[in-house]
A and B are shown apart, each in its own frame.
Chain A
Amino acid sequence: MIANQISIFAENKPGRLSKVTSLLAAEKINIRAITISSSDEFGVINMLVDDPEKARRALAEAGLTVNLKPVVAVVIPDRPGGLDLLIRVLSDQGVNIENAYGFVLESREKAVFVVEVEQVEKTLEILEKNKFKTLDAEALAAIEPFHYMKY
């Protein structure tokens, strides 16, 4: 399954991130994961949100430079060696990761590793063959990160 990551081009100066977060707050959009990579005076904010299309519209209407990009969100076990299982598969198959970040889904149970790759379809096939579960936007929206019920 393909998830959509929302990317925003932002100058590296005070107030730029706050503009993004306040817009999303006003639209009641939930951020599941966020990373920022920057290069001197500009950077890119990458986010997984519960409603990517709505977020894109809101940010673009406010004049921001936004891009929706397919990424692969892979569920991995939240234990030592969990990420290694996944990376070994990707590396064996020659999949190069352009950008990646992760977050915990259920503590000590499941985590999600989000990867940006050039060949999304091919990567999904490889993951499916190797019994990895991937999440799409809806699945990401439905995630309750901390599953308190289990405690």
Chain B
Amino acid sequence: MYWDRSTETMERDTLESLQLERLKKTVEAASRSEFYKDRFSSNNFDPAGISSLDDIRRIPFTTKDDLRESWPYGCVAVPKDRLVRLHSSSGTTGRATVIFHTAHDLDAWTDILARAMYMTGMRESDVFQNMMTYGLFTGGLGFHYAAERIGALTIPAGAGNSKRQIQLMKDFDTTVIHIIPSYALHLTEVFEEVGVDPRKDTSLRIAFLGAEPHSEKTRQKIQEYYGVDAFNSYGLSEMNGPGVAFECPEKQGMHIWEDNYFVEIIDPDTLEPVREGDEGELVLTTLRREGMPILRYRTKDLTRFVPGPCSCGRTHRRISRITGRTDDMLILKGVNIFPIQIEKKLMEIPGVGNNFLIILEREGYNDLMIVRVEVLREFFSGNLKQLEQLRRKITEELRSDILITPRVELVEPNTLPKTEGKAVRVIDNRKD
């Protein structure tokens, strides 16, 4: 039942000594990158001065902006020749966050993800259909290699093409799927349409749900409809991607692999650690990455430690479902979207007024983004066709930028709440 028994069930103090040893190495490696070399010297931090895990608190936090500003190679800590792959965060505009990996990094990532998948009960006899986008997005290739490492027959189905997905499941007796939860819900309609009952007509038994937060209720729905055991997972490209934390069969929180990550949960205002069990922002440090080590990365994701040991026997602590974000990032159909991207794009389009509002709705099983845009008073020429053209242009420009087709609605000037300051620009009406 364990992929790596000694690591997964390691006594806490042994685990912590391992963490300290790896933290020292990581900090030392990081100091060879341009970004951390500057960061350490401007903060008078001596990379050789780590003697306990608590010393990590003397290291300044790293943010997404830091990664953007040190783009592309500022955080790379090894000669470029040693890098073998890069991945990039999903859906961001302009300077995306790029993460570089050495062969060793990919091997370690594959290992923890295989560990997680094995933990849920997946074995080499399984047939794994990976229904995630391959490419820059980490969810495709990450799971792909981990499934192969377990020895499962792996179908690189990729995202979309719903009817073919169902056909593949039937043709090759797929037993395990990796799928975005909103897509899993959407796919139920296609199952109805083609007259296939996943409970009777397929061999599905496990589903990995990832790339976007979802509720317990959504999990229940998916389990019921597909007749599978569905597992929640957590990851972010800055920390490799999927596999950072994963549910065990107990499903009481996600085990976060502490031999690979040093975990802190902080109060996003005071930046001090919260009391064990309280909600706060997850802060992660890579402990096994050599190509691009990242220290104290502020994920902006809100969670809490699940107190006490897990009855599965694993000693790595568990975090709860992600309950929200400390920033205004939206996740729609697995794509990360920042309202600022939308604002920037809108303001480039002639005819667009000053204010806009983003509304997220759930229509049936589909998530929908409505962008309500004020028309510039001077733009109006009394012509309906011109307004229609404006609407089409906005839709097209946004689609090419955020990869999602919004429903654009034009409204009269000065009818939306002002967008300056901290006004609410996003209304999320998605409910289960």
Q: CB distance A42 to B411 under 8 Å?
A: yes
Q: CB distance A11 to B382 under 8 Å?
A: no
Q: CB distance B412 to A41 under 8 Å?
A: no
In the complex, A34 has a CB within 8 A of chain B? no
CB nearest to B410 among chain A residues: A42
Q: CB distance B414 to A63 under 8 Å?
A: yes
Number of residues in B with C-beta < 8 Å to the partner? 17
In the complex, B132 has a CB within 8 A of chain A? no
In the complex, B225 has a CB within 8 A of chain A? no
List 28 contacting pairs A-B, 8 Å CB cutoff, sorted by A: A5-B382, A7-B382, A7-B383, A9-B380, A9-B387, A10-B412, A11-B411, A11-B415, A39-B384, A39-B387, A42-B387, A42-B409, A42-B410, A42-B411, A44-B383, A44-B387, A63-B413, A64-B412, A65-B377, A65-B380, A65-B412, A65-B413, A66-B380, A67-B380, A68-B382, A69-B381, A98-B385, A99-B383
If A39-B387, A42-B409 touch, whether A67 touches B382 (CB-CB below 8 Å) is yes
A106-129 interface (Cβ within 8 A of B): 116
Chain B residues contacting A66 (CB-CB under 8 Å) are 380
Q: CB distance B382 to A46 under 8 Å?
A: yes
Q: CB distance A41 to B384 under 8 Å?
A: no
In the complex, B272 has a CB within 8 A of chain A? no
Q: Which residues of B line the A interface, CB within 8 A?
A: 375, 377, 380-385, 387-388, 409-415
CB nearest to A41 among chain B residues: B409
Extra contacts, 13 of them, besides A5-B382, A40-B409 (Cβ < 8 A), are A7-B380, A7-B382, A9-B375, A9-B387, A9-B412, A41-B409, A42-B387, A44-B383, A64-B412, A65-B380, A69-B381, A98-B383, A116-B383
B-contact bits for A1-35, CB 8 A (1 contact / 0 none)? 00001010111000000000000000000000000
Complex-state Cα separation, A23 to B187, whole angstroms? 52
CB nearest to A60 among chain B residues: B377
In the complex, A77 has a CB within 8 A of chain B? no
Minimum distance in angstroms from B420 CB to a CB of chain A: 19
Q: Which residues of A line the B interface, CB within 8 A?
A: 5, 7, 9-11, 37-44, 46, 63-69, 98-99, 116
The 4 A-B pairs of least Cβ separation, nearest first, read A7-B382, A67-B382, A69-B382, A44-B384
Chain B residues contacting A46 (CB-CB under 8 Å) are 382
CB nearest to A46 among chain B residues: B382
Among A43, A63, A68, contact of B384 (Cβ-Cβ < 8 Å): A43
Chain B residues contacting A67 (CB-CB under 8 Å) are 380-382
Complex-state Cα separation, A43 to B384, whole angstroms? 7
Complex-state Cα separation, A64 to B412, whole angstroms? 8
Chain B residues contacting A42 (CB-CB under 8 Å) are 387, 409-411
Chain A residues contacting B377 (CB-CB under 8 Å) are 65
If A11-B411, A11-B412, A98-B383 touch, whether A39 touches B375 (CB-CB below 8 Å) is no
Minimum distance in angstroms from B210 CB to a CB of chain A: 35
If A9-B412, A10-B412, A42-B410 touch, whether A65 touches B375 (CB-CB below 8 Å) is yes
Chain B residues contacting A43 (CB-CB under 8 Å) are 384
CB nearest to A66 among chain B residues: B380
Chain B residues contacting A7 (CB-CB under 8 Å) are 380-383
Complex-state Cα separation, A68 to B382, whole angstroms? 8
Complex-state Cα separation, A51 to B194, whole angstroms? 62
CB nearest to B381 among chain A residues: A67
Chain B residues contacting A38 (CB-CB under 8 Å) are 384
Complex-state Cα separation, A103 to B58, whole angstroms? 81
Minimum distance in angstroms from A41 CB to a CB of chain B: 5
Complex-state Cα separation, A44 to B384, whole angstroms? 6
Chain B residues contacting A98 (CB-CB under 8 Å) are 383, 385
Q: CB distance A39 to B412 under 8 Å?
A: no
* Residue of A41, A64, A116 with highest tally of chain B CB at under 10 A: A41
Chain A residues contacting B388 (CB-CB under 8 Å) are 39
Chain A residues contacting B415 (CB-CB under 8 Å) are 11
Complex-state Cα separation, A2 to B211, whole angstroms? 61
Complex-state Cα separation, A40 to B388, whole angstroms? 10
Complex-state Cα separation, A67 to B384, whole angstroms? 12
Minimum distance in angstroms from B426 CB to a CB of chain A: 19
Complex-state Cα separation, A64 to B380, whole angstroms? 11
Chain B residues contacting A37 (CB-CB under 8 Å) are 384
Complex-state Cα separation, A65 to B378, whole angstroms? 8
Chain A residues contacting B385 (CB-CB under 8 Å) are 98
CB nearest to A63 among chain B residues: B414
CB nearest to B386 among chain A residues: A44
Minimum distance in angstroms from B302 CB to a CB of chain A: 35
Minimum distance in angstroms from B422 CB to a CB of chain A: 25
Complex-state Cα separation, A43 to B387, whole angstroms? 9
* Residue of B383, B387, B414 with highest tally of chain A CB at under 10 A: B383
CB nearest to B377 among chain A residues: A65
Complex-state Cα separation, A66 to B379, whole angstroms? 10
Complex-state Cα separation, A68 to B381, whole angstroms? 8
* Residue of A39, A42, A43, A98 with highest tally of chain B CB at under 10 A: A42
* Residue of A11, A38, A68 with highest tally of chain B CB at under 10 A: A11
Chain A residues contacting B381 (CB-CB under 8 Å) are 7, 67, 69
